[in-house]
Structure 1
Amino acid sequence: MQNPLEISFRDLRNNEKIEKLIQEKFDKLEGISPDITKCHVILEKLSKHHQTANAACVRLDLKVANFDDIVISEKCSEEEGPLMSAVNKIFKRSQELVRKEKKRRQDRHRIR
């Protein structure tokens, strides 16, 4: 199967540590739900204005077969540490949402 993971850096330098972290988190998420059809992680600088020169955003667009689309974003500064922390937060939240949806569907099938 084609790898559904896509990582984009917008107005930020590519960072191998962050890419590796995203790949690890994606692999873990894929273990929870193997029917992921798309996972796009976007790391972008929010503004080029002087007052918000450090602001960045990490966004996750996730599509899982037979689920609603999941979009999660986390604002942070553009340094490596805060970006990695934001990546951890969005993947943790996505795992919670996928698990919750899977459980809801299993419970619904038991009732029938």
Structure 2
Amino acid sequence: MNTLLQILLLIAVIAIVMFVFNLYTSLLGKISQNSIKKRIAKGKINDKQLMNLYKASERSRRGKLMAIFFYGIFYKSFLNMQEGNYLVYKEEMERRGLLERAS
């Protein structure tokens, strides 16, 4: 019975750690997206930089191998962060009318 209790406790601890890490990566993603939005709003990113950032984020959001290498079993959290950044860049590219030139 003692071993069963230890196994259940271990599973609970792992679940809590995974939940906390998920919250951390969600918060990190939101902070990153807000930072990008502020830089765009202040005009610190010109059209050429925006196109380069858009292309880089497009490549990185498809890189599952790199996500697995960096985050291990939490690779989906990394991909979600990259997808959010990609959407911010894509939205600004559409607003500026640069999406056709980037293709």
Q: Same fold (TM over 0.5)?
A: no
| TM-score between both structures, scaled by the size of structure 1 | 0.32
Q: Which has the larger radius of gyration?
A: 2
- Name the structure where strand makes up a greater proportion of residues: 1
Question: Normalising by structure 2, what TM-score?
Answer: 0.34
Greater RCO, CA 8 A, separation 6+: 2
Identify, as 1 or 2, the structure richer in helix.
2
